[in-house]
């Protein structure tokens, strides 16, 4: 090959002229098969790129029909419009979220107002128009301000009649009917070694003029109109006892409860258990019982006897032993028969109670 510049022969394999240094450009011979192969390889690469779709989860998916799809190009002048449309979408989404939050907040306020109105009296609840103002103000604040109802406060002035209504209701609750009469109870609370009769008197009204009722309980609870009615003196129970008395005056007003505590520890010739056993032994001797368990002929049940209290009568002290009948199923009822034992002589008696609460004793 000769140098095209100076004509000097260039040895085979050399790229520069040894005489003038001219760079020789070697043009390869045209190969039609090679050209066709290069076109096929380029087409395959382009189709492979077009068939790859990247999803949000990071995985790739091949679309068989995407080889002919054209990828749209975004023009430079279209970018501001796309940004504006995206901003509108974001603003709409924020407004929807704000309205939803305001709605939930309003429902909570309504629920609180309903619960509060039910728990108050009719004169102390918050008017519905005030609740409506509060709800509408909160809703407006959530939509028209900074799109965040939780950051805005609404000042709602309640009507003046609301406060006055509350005060009026409080005054009505504080006003309680006054009971003019009072109770006087003897003996006083304390410990006793000899039995006493519990007597209740009404102060402020004569016995003939008093038309009210005295209720009492024996467990210390506050008496009401369902409790026992005091009519006559009560024998003091043996051991510790707790009485509560309450007056219902003629106008139907209940007074304050009066609590009395007693502790009768009698030290005599026998105990309460001994007194009950003496009655059982006496009834067996008379043929009224067939054994110490209280059984009688022809009956599956049994009679029981337990000393509950003591009483003073005619200068003597007696144990009182009421009689009860217990059915086979365990149900017990009082028969109304009361026995007594003289605390000093241990003589048994049958006790009879008159209408005025007094006792008389019949020996047997």
Among 9-13, 166-170, 198-202, the range with the most confident prediction by mean pLDDT is: 198-202
Strands 190-192 and 258-264, bridge-based pairing: parallel
Higher pLDDT among residues 164 and 305, named by residue: 305
DSSP one-letter code for 124: S
- At residue 49 the predicted structure's pLDDT band, cuts being 50, 70 and 90, is very low
Distance of CA 290 to the CA centre of its chain: 57
Beta bridge partners of 313: 316
- At residue 57 the predicted structure's pLDDT band, cuts being 50, 70 and 90, is very low
3-state secondary structure of 245: strand
Average pLDDT, the chain: 76
**Phi and psi, residue 12, nearest 5°:** -65, 130
Distance of CA 74 to the CA centre of its chain: 63
Could you tell me if 236 and 309 are in contact, meaning their C-beta atoms sit under 8 angstroms apart? yes
Dihedral angle, C-alpha 94, 99, 100, 101, nearest 10 °: 90
Structural Rg of the chain based on CA atoms: 54
| pLDDT for the residue 165 | 52
| Alpha carbon distance 288, 302 (integer Å) | 12
- The helix, strand and coil proportions of the chain, stated in percent and rounded to the nearest 5, come to 30, 25, 40
| pLDDT for the residue 30 | 57
Tokens describing residue 356: 């005025």
| Alpha carbon distance 336, 340 (integer Å) | 13
Element (H, E) at 315: none
| pLDDT for the residue 349 | 95
> Quick one: which of 202, 185, 322 has its CA closest to 262?
185
| Alpha carbon distance 188, 32 (integer Å) | 134
The mean pLDDT of 339-347, rounded to a whole number, is 93
Model confidence at 44: pLDDT above 90 = no
CA distances (Å), origin 61, targets 42, 45, 47, 52, 58 = 22, 17, 14, 6, 10
pTM: 0.46
| pLDDT for the residue 279 | 95
Higher pLDDT among residues 335 and 123, named by residue: 335
- At residue 20 the predicted structure's pLDDT band, cuts being 50, 70 and 90, is confident
Alpha-helical regions (H) of 120-228: 128-144, 160-174
Tokens describing residue 15: 């790229």
pLDDT tens string 201-246? 888 755 556 678 999 999 989 999 999 999 888 989 989 999 999 9
- Can you spell out the DSSP letters for 5-64? TT-PBPPTT-SB-TTT-PBP-PPPPP-HHHHHHHHHHHHHHHHHHHTEEE-TTS-EEE-T
Counting residues of the chain whose pLDDT is more than 70, the rounded percentage is: 66
3-state secondary structure of 110: helix
């Amino acid at each position: 090959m000769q140098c095209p510049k100076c004509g000097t022969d260039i040895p085979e394999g050399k790229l520069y002229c040894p005489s003038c240094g001219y760079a020789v450009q070697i043009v390869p011979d045209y190969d039609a098969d090679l050209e066709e192969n290069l076109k096929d390889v380029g087409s395959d690469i382009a189709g492979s790129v077009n068939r790859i779709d990247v999803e949000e989860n990071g995985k790739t998916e091949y679309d068989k029909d995407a080889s002919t799809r054209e990828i749209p190009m975004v023009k430079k002048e279209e970018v501001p419009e796309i940004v504006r449309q995206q901003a509108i979408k974001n603003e709409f989404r924020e407004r929807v979220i704000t309205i939803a939050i305001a709605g939930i907040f309003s429902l909570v306020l309504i629920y609180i107002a309903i619960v509060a109105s039910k728990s108050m009296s009719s004169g102390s609840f918050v008017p519905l128009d005030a609740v409506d103002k509060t709800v509408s103000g909160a809703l407006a604040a959530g939509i028209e301000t900074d799109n965040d109802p939780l950051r805005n406060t609404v000042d709602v002035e309640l009507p003046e009649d609301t406060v006055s209504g509350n005060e009026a209701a409080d005054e009505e609750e504080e006003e309680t009917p006054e009971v003019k009469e009072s109770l006087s109870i003897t003996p006083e609370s304390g410990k006793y070694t000899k039995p006493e009769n519990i007597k209740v008197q009404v102060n402020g009204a004569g016995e003939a003029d008093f038309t009210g009722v005295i209720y009492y309980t024996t467990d210390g609870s506050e008496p009401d109109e369902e409790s026992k009615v005091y009519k006559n003196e009560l024998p003091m129970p043996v051991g510790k006892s707790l009485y509560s008395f309450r007056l219902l005056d003629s106008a139907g007003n209940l007074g304050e409860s009066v609590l009395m505590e007693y502790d009768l520890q009698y030290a005599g010739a026998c105990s309460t258990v001994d007194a009950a056993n003496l009655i059982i032994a006496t009834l067996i001797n008379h043929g009224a019982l067939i054994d110490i368990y209280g059984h009688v002929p022809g009956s599956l049940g049994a009679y029981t006897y337990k000393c509950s209290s003591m009483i003073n009568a005619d200068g003597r002290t007696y144990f009182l032993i009421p009689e009860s009948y217990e059915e086979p199923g365990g149900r017990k009822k009082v028969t109304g028969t009361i026995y007594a034992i003289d605390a000093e002589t241990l003589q048994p008696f049958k006790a009879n109670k008159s209408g005025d609460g007094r006792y008389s004793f019949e020996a047997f």
